[in-house]
Structure 1
Amino acid sequence: MAKTQAEPRGLFQRILDAIEWGGNKVPHPAVLFLTLILLVTLLSVLFQWMGVSVSYQRINPETHEIEQATTSIRSLLSADGIRFIFTSVVSNFINFGPVGIIMVAMIGVGLAERSGLIGALIRKIVMVAPPQSMTAILVTLGVLSSIASDAGYLVLIPLGAVAFHSLGRHPLAGLAAAFAGVAAAFGANFLVKPIDGILAEMTNDSIHIVDPSRSIDLTANFYFGIASSLLLIVVCTFISSWIVEPRLGKYEGDSPSPDSQALSSEESRGLQYAFWSLLGFVVVILLLTLPSSAPLRNPETGTIIGDSPFMNSLVFLIMLVFLVTGIAYGMGAKTIQSADSAFDAITKTFADLAGLLFLFFVIGQFVAYFTYTNLGTVLAVKLADGLGEANLGSTALLLAFLFIGLVMSIPVPNILPKWAILAPVFVPLFLKLGIDPDVVLAAYRVSDSPPNVINPLLPHFALVVGFARRWQHDAGVGTVVAMMLPYAAATAVTWVLLFFVWYWLNLPFGT
């Protein structure tokens, strides 16, 4: 990692350096996940032999009914386990969420990048935006990107690196700022997200265990989400400017010259074409969305936000907007002069994804095997049962719940499966203590997001490592973990403090 030689390294910086050194001794991520597959296999055999099982109430994801369930550890080396290993390989890869997102989105994003649109757009933004505000802009866009589910990982994080490089700053600092906004603040937003409706519905299913007449809305955490977004933007911007970027030091790679930042007449014309194509695209989407009977509204409820074709097609829309504007830019800048050149740009983009797709193949197998063994479910229920049996006051119980959520975010990084297990246990428990369900849901959001940025088991973590290697060839898991650890610690501590201040002041969490 590039570092300035003149500046002494403080204790905290030396600790991060040690974490980076140790983390980078970890083998290639594919080898790491193959090792984890072996570990999960051995643990599944051991715990099945010990007869480990748990009984609990859970939400049926299809019927949304609360049902009693008993889950036992399943061995991957049993007859059923071996059959699962041999028959599920293809489906494990195809059904691994990031695969579909990256394959669809990169059709448009890749063409926009190779046409020159993204580079020209970044340089234009750098020219007009105050340089000192770029960090806050990236973090804010990262927070907002969760409205489009996982697309922020794919689009914004590499753009953050390019933007910082255009300013003559370390690209990894831009990558880190964007990653923090996308992942560490995933549970916060200024807007209502599609996932909010699902979380609210699962919370209501848990409420109805003890009170069938009571429910919460998808805006139950709206006010707290706005306050959380503002806090996390400030915190992540501070961490970027005062800890992460100084530690990275001066970038030792090629630095852009002032002359290279100026836009040529062809590039300026390309940006104009892209702007008008974007405007036309937005008009078309509005016509497909705003009228009362528009096809992108929910055909039953007529809603746009929540469960609607519009929200469910965001990844496709992102692909289209980059595809349309990329082609328009290429025509204006004369970087795309035929259909063949456009197809060639897309083909080369997919060729560059080959290594990442192989890694996703391995990670997809690990996720499927881990899910099959029920290790994550048993761990979550054991922790929840232990906390439920503890004779704690409301504040201590909320703090313990936050701790469990933070711990469980490592082996189970997905926000929905984890809540499907924890909600039926803790929502009724806290209701009996007089703590409203919207408070519990807010606490869960706080505990879910901060560990994302240091969690190698996060499906998109390998993608971030790959982005980092574009700018620093020896970057590895340790590089990203050491770089993102200050964000994880700062967001967790400040967000927890905000939660308790909000709770103690009895402020409304939402509507």
Structure 2
Amino acid sequence: MATGNVASKTVMQRFLDTVEKVGNMVPHPVVIFLILIAIVIGLSAVLGAFGAAVTFERINPDTHKVETATTAIRSLLNVEGIRFIYSSLIPNFMSFTAVGLMIVAMIGAGVAEESGLVTALIRKLVIVSPRWALTYILSFVGILASIAADAGYLVLIPLAGIAYLAVGRHPLAGLALGFAAVAGAFTVNMLIKPLDAVLVEFTNDAAHLVDPSRSIGLASNVWFSIASVLFLTVIIAFISDRMIEPRLGKYDPKLAAEGTTTEQGATLSEQESRGLRFAGFGLLGLIVVFCLLTIPAGAPLRNPTTGELIGNSPFMNGLIALIMLMFLTTGWTYGIGAGTLRTLTEVIAAIEKSIKNLGGTIFLFFVLSQFVAYFTYTNMGTVMALSLSGVLQSANIGALPLLLGFIVVVAIIDLLLTGAIAKWAIFAPVFVPLLMKLGVEPEAVLAAYRVGDSPMNAITPLNAYFALVVGFAQKYDKTAGVGTIVSLMLPYVMWMFVLWTALFAAWKWLGLPWGL
């Protein structure tokens, strides 16, 4: 990877260069996960033989009642474990939702990219945005992309790379910016999203252990979330401009993988301008259709029981379909206007091309899905999480230090258990009642969980989309590897975690309202 002048590098830049070199010496990601699978299998047999277990209280996700449970390490080398390994090969892969999300998203994204819409939109954004504002715009949009669940990984991250390239900036800096925004701030947004409904429900179940009349609403963290979005937008953009891009230096198009477009420039041709107008008409038509499906009372995409639209509703649960249709519709209408995709046959060919390019990633996801399933089966992550939380719970410290310690524990566990819902189902019945007895409102505990759960998503290889980001990077630098992404994301993770935790502490100390 091309970087700036060695003589002018700071100590941190030289350290990150070392991290990258060491990281890129590791084998192919598939080999890494095969090694990890072997370690999990062997370790599960050892721990299982010693009867490692932990007893705890948790919220049953089906009944929402607190129950006492004992979780023991399960061996993968006994009779049941071997049966699981043999019989779960296909179910493990089929239940790995990242695969389905990626393929569905690429149906639309492939058409948008092949027609030229993505490039034209990015160049239009470059034309209308001041150069200094591009980083902040992409950072802000990336954080808000979590409203579409995991679709932000598949859409915003590659778009950020293209946007940087369009203005002559290093595309890896754009990818890093997009990854930090989408992953590192995943649990906060300016809008209420489906994840909020689940987290709030588990929080209320835990709060009722202390006070059956105490409940919080969906907007219980909205003020803190809005402030966090604005705060993190500035931090992510600042780190990108002052740390990441200077280290990368000037981009050399010769580093790009074969077949990758590295042309720069921001001017639009007459055909491209007409294509954008057609895409606008297509988007308007799609909006009208979805307004009819969502706005009227009893509309098909509203919750059939409560009638809500934002929260637990068919519209929010199937938002990836809207993302796919948006790119498919605008991509095709752009192609008609610009003359790049006119017929249905050409559209199908564009979709086939985008799916073919996912072959290596799908194989990696197959191996990754087996590792995740085996790790979950052994219960090693759960036992570790409960052991750490037990140590923190027994510590004789005040409310704010306990909250800060809680944030640290969540961050550590997030390196191994990346699912926000699964971790909160374990942590909520422990820490919400504990802190409520110390006079801490449940809204504050949930806000602390949001802070601890997000930043590490951008650096853990167990993030289902980490390998995908490595693939994005290899398009622009064929020598890029795991070490490249880790070295790019380390500054984001460190500063986001420290400064966001400081914001939380200041918010708590000042007694500001967490939400409505």
TM-score band by shorter chain is over 0.9
- Any conservation in 2 of the 1:409–1:448 contact (CA below 8 Å)? yes
Superimposed CA distance per residue, residues 445-501 of structure 1 (whole angstroms, 9 cap, x where no aligned partner) = 000111111111111100111101110101111100100110001110111001011
Pick the aligned partner of 1:306 from 311, 327, 330: 311
- Any conservation in 2 of the 1:228–1:495 contact (CA below 8 Å)? yes
Distance in structure 2 (CA, Å) of the matches to 1:337 and 1:257:
24
Q: Which amino acid aligns with 1:425?
A: V
Superimposed CA distance per residue, residues 220-243 of structure 1 (whole angstroms, 9 cap, x where no aligned partner) = 111000111111011111100000
- Any conservation in 2 of the 1:296–1:309 contact (CA below 8 Å)? yes
SS at match of 2:8: coil
Superimposed CA distance per residue, residues 356-384 of structure 1 (whole angstroms, 9 cap, x where no aligned partner) = 00000011001100000000110111111
TM-fit CA distance, 1:6: 6.7
Query: Is it true that 1:434 corresponds to 2:471 in the alignment?
Result: no
Superimposed CA distance per residue, residues 82-135 of structure 1 (whole angstroms, 9 cap, x where no aligned partner) = 100111111111111211100111111111111111111111111111111110
Alignment of 1:285-324 (within 5 A): 285-324=290-329
Structure 1: gaps of 5 or more residues = none
Q: Which residue of 2 aligns with 1:360?
A: 365
TM-fit CA distance, 1:264: 2.0
SS at match of 2:296: coil
Question: Which range is displaced more, 111-120 or 2-11?
Answer: 2-11
Q: Which residue of 1 aligns with 2:258?
A: none
- Any conservation in 1 of the 2:111–2:327 contact (CA below 8 Å)? yes
Query: Is it true that 1:470 corresponds to 2:475 in the alignment?
Result: yes
SS at match of 1:304: coil
Superimposed CA distance per residue, residues 147-167 of structure 1 (whole angstroms, 9 cap, x where no aligned partner) = 111100000000000000000
Q: Which residue of 1 aligns with 2:257?
A: none
TM-fit CA distance, 1:79: 0.5
Distance in structure 1 (CA, Å) of the matches to 2:220 and 2:113:
39
Q: Which residue of 2 aligns with 1:494?
A: 499
Alignment of 1:162-177 (within 5 A): 162-177=162-177
TM-fit CA distance, 1:210: 2.2
Alignment of 1:221-236 (within 5 A): 221-236=221-236
Distance in structure 2 (CA, Å) of the matches to 1:97 and 1:404:
27
- Any conservation in 2 of the 1:208–1:214 contact (CA below 8 Å)? yes
- Any conservation in 1 of the 2:203–2:446 contact (CA below 8 Å)? yes
Q: Quick one: structure 1 residues 257 and 367, their matched pair in 2 at CA, closer, same or farther if it must change by over 3 Å? A: closer
Distance in structure 1 (CA, Å) of the matches to 2:341 and 2:233:
38
Alignment of 1:62-73 (within 5 A): 62-73=62-73
SS at match of 2:287: helix
Q: Which residue of 2 aligns with 1:418?
A: 423
Distance in structure 1 (CA, Å) of the matches to 2:90 and 2:33:
17
SS at match of 1:486: helix
Distance in structure 2 (CA, Å) of the matches to 1:452 and 1:167:
28
Pick the aligned partner of 1:373 from 365, 369, 378: 378
Q: Which amino acid aligns with 1:170?
A: H
Distance in structure 2 (CA, Å) of the matches to 1:221 and 1:200:
9
Question: Which range is displaced more, 206-215 or 69-78?
Answer: 206-215
Q: Which residue of 1 aligns with 2:131?
A: 131
Q: Which residue of 2 aligns with 1:449?
A: 454
Distance in structure 1 (CA, Å) of the matches to 2:64 and 2:459:
32
SS at match of 1:217: coil
Q: Which residue of 2 aligns with 1:96?
A: 96
Q: Which residue of 2 aligns with 1:27?
A: 27
Q: Return the TM-score normalized by structure 2.
A: 0.97
TM-fit CA distance, 1:5: 3.0
Distance in structure 2 (CA, Å) of the matches to 1:265 and 1:11:
49
TM-fit CA distance, 1:344: 0.8
Question: Which range is displaced more, 265-274 or 466-475?
Answer: 265-274
Q: Which residue of 2 aligns with 1:284?
A: 289
Question: Which range is displaced more, 478-487 or 392-401?
Answer: 392-401
Distance in structure 1 (CA, Å) of the matches to 2:109 and 2:454:
26
Q: Which residue of 1 aligns with 2:198?
A: 198
Instruction: Indicate the percent of aligned positions where both proteins have the same amino acid.
Output: 54
Pick the aligned partner of 1:395 from 384, 400, 418: 400
Structure 2: gaps of 5 or more residues = 255-260
Superimposed CA distance per residue, residues 371-412 of structure 1 (whole angstroms, 9 cap, x where no aligned partner) = 000001101111111111121111221121111011001000
TM-fit CA distance, 1:342: 1.0
Q: Quick one: structure 1 residues 416 and 232, their matched pair in 2 at CA, closer, same or farther if it must change by over 3 Å? A: same
Distance in structure 2 (CA, Å) of the matches to 1:24 and 1:102:
25
- Any conservation in 2 of the 1:106–1:319 contact (CA below 8 Å)? yes
Q: Which residue of 2 aligns with 1:484?
A: 489
TM-fit CA distance, 1:261: 3.3
Q: Which residue of 2 aligns with 1:105?
A: 105
- Any conservation in 1 of the 2:253–2:262 contact (CA below 8 Å)? no
TM-fit CA distance, 1:7: 5.1
Q: Which amino acid aligns with 1:41?
A: I
Q: Which residue of 1 aligns with 2:147?
A: 147
- Any conservation in 2 of the 1:168–1:256 contact (CA below 8 Å)? no
Pick the aligned partner of 1:409 from 405, 408, 414: 414
Q: What root-mean-square deviation, in Å, do the aligned CA atoms of Structure 1 and Structure 2 show?
A: 1.2
Q: Which amino acid aligns with 1:309?
A: P
TM-fit CA distance, 1:4: 2.9
SS at match of 2:69: strand
Q: Which residue of 1 aligns with 2:464?
A: 459
SS at match of 2:177: helix
Q: Which amino acid aligns with 2:71?
A: T
Query: Is it true that 1:210 corresponds to 2:215 in the alignment?
Result: no
Distance in structure 2 (CA, Å) of the matches to 1:479 and 1:444:
29
Q: Which residue of 2 aligns with 1:182?
A: 182
TM-fit CA distance, 1:262: 2.3
SS at match of 1:261: coil
SS at match of 2:253: coil
Distance in structure 2 (CA, Å) of the matches to 1:238 and 1:35:
37
Question: Which range is displaced more, 441-450 or 114-123?
Answer: 114-123
Q: Which amino acid aligns with 2:285?
A: G
Query: Is it true that 1:337 corresponds to 2:345 in the alignment?
Result: no
Question: Which range is displaced more, 480-489 or 397-406?
Answer: 397-406
SS at match of 1:270: helix
Distance in structure 1 (CA, Å) of the matches to 2:217 and 2:266:
48
Distance in structure 1 (CA, Å) of the matches to 2:151 and 2:46:
39
Q: Which amino acid aligns with 1:470?
A: K
- Any conservation in 1 of the 2:332–2:342 contact (CA below 8 Å)? no
SS at match of 1:141: helix
SS at match of 1:235: helix
TM-fit CA distance, 1:340: 1.4
Distance in structure 1 (CA, Å) of the matches to 2:6 and 2:21:
21
Question: Which range is displaced more, 458-467 or 183-192?
Answer: 183-192
User: What is the aligned residue count?
Assistant: 510
